[in-house]
Amino acid sequence: MLGTGDKDYVPGTGNVTEVQAQDRGDAVDARGVTVDGGKLDLTDLQGKVVVVNVWWSGCGPCRAEMPMLVDAQDQLPAKDVAFVGINIRDNSPETAAAYERELGVDYPSLYDPGSETLDEFGRYRPASTPSTAILDDQGRVAVLISGDIPSETTLLTLVKGLIAEGTDG
């Protein structure tokens, strides 16, 4: 099955699921080639909170929220937070890369039209586009947003809470 199959996209409900530290699974071990041909391994980002956004360029809600993600990235300290995308549907990495350039995205996105990397999220597997998983500094899913991110304030609050959690423990 290619990404979302023959559907334009599978919409999420905008639900935010926060996972308590004791209930988080193992670290997400997703890796692959980015839309610009580089290599990316999420385990290399452990030590930071990682915002992972699942998208494709033909998804209207994805297009609407991407500028918010870019803005949020600019507001958060790069020493504590990394942003990553996973493109699950575009027909070529060039299409996905052009979309990122158009919207000013400067963080890497894995190119995964078969959605295999999503299986690495275990029981917190993103199941819609857009979806956003926020990994704690140990690489475990701490938050899953199914559908559009409710607001930039919501995203910033969740990420800052996880940064504080990491400095407390």
Over its length of 169 residues, how does the chain's per-residue pLDDT go in tens digits? 334 444 444 455 668 999 999 999 999 999 999 999 999 999 999 999 999 999 999 999 999 999 999 999 999 999 999 999 999 999 999 999 999 999 999 999 999 999 999 999 999 999 889 999 999 999 999 999 999 999 999 999 999 999 999 876 5
Does residue 162 fall inside a structural domain?
yes
Amino acid at 22: Q
Please tell me the predicted confidence (pLDDT) of residue 12.
Answer: 53
Please tell me the predicted confidence (pLDDT) of residue 167.
Answer: 74
Partners of 53 in the beta sheet?
Answer: 85, 132
For residues 55 and 88, give the distance between their C-alpha atoms in angstroms, rounded to a whole number: 6
- The CATH number of whichever domain residue 132 belongs to comes to 3.40.30.10
Residue whose pair of structure tokens reads 């295999």 in the numeric block: 116
Residue 34 per-residue DSSP state: B
Does residue 150 fall inside a structural domain?
yes
Amino acid at 119: D
Does residue 91 fall inside a structural domain?
yes
- Say how many domains are in the chain: 1
For residues 124 and 102, give the distance between their C-alpha atoms in angstroms, rounded to a whole number: 30
SS3 label, residue 136: coil
Which structural domain range is residue 78 located in? 15-168
For residues 163 and 157, give the distance between their C-alpha atoms in angstroms, rounded to a whole number: 10
Cα dihedral sign for 71, 72, 73, 79? positive
SS3 label, residue 4: coil
Structure token digits, residue 57: 């360029």
Please tell me the predicted confidence (pLDDT) of residue 169.
Answer: 54
For residues 93 and 34, give the distance between their C-alpha atoms in angstroms, rounded to a whole number: 8
Does residue 6 fall inside a structural domain?
no
List the beta strands (DSSP E) in 1-114. 15-18, 31-33, 39-41, 49-55, 81-87, 109-111
With beta carbons less than 8 A apart as the criterion, state whether 50 and 143 touch. Answer: no
Does residue 2 fall inside a structural domain?
no
Does residue 103 fall inside a structural domain?
yes
Please tell me the predicted confidence (pLDDT) of residue 166.
Answer: 81
